[in-house]
């Protein structure tokens, strides 16, 4: 709001935006991430700890003799769906390349 009233210069606004953390929603949008769902290292570490605790809980139930322990499902990370889709697209592209490769071609 200060920028539009003239109380904040464009340079000062740029400096403030530039000093935001890389996982901030503003920086994510500026870099092209339309969802703006980036996590910092703290969020990733906490999710990893939560996943490990869930694995320990499931293993403890198995050790205790539970015949039907709960299944382990890791917490979803931001961008996981996009990474999975990109990996699947890359795998399909490799399969397509192998299909097009001549039968007698042994070179890589």
31 with 55, same domain?
no
Min mean pLDDT across 10-14, 25-29, 68-72 is at: 25-29
From CA 84, how far away is CA 92, in angstroms rounded?
Answer: 12
> What does the pLDDT look like over 32-87, one tens digit per residue?
766 666 777 788 899 999 999 999 999 999 899 888 888 888 888 876 666 677 77
What domain range is 61 assigned to? Answer: 40-100
* Whole-number CA gyration radius for the chain: 24
Number of domains present in the structure of the chain = 2
Q: Give the SS3 label for residue 60.
A: helix
Is residue 106 in a domain?
no
> Which of 36, 45, 34, 33 lies closest to 75 in space, CA to CA?
45
Is residue 4 in a domain?
yes
């Amino acid at each position: 709001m200060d920028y539009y009233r003239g109380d904040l210069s464009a340079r000062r606004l740029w400096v403030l935006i530039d000093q935001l953390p890389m996982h901030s929603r503003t920086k994510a949008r500026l870099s092209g991430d339309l969802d703006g769902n980036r996590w910092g290292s703290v969020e990733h570490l906490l999710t990893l700890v939560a996943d490990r605790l869930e694995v320990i809980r499931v293993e403890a139930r198995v050790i205790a003799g539970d015949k039907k322990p709960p299944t382990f499902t890791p917490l979803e990370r931001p961008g996981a769906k996009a990474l999975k889709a990109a990996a699947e697209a890359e795998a399909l592209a490799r399969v397509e390349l192998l299909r097009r490769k001549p039968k007698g071609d042994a070179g890589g």
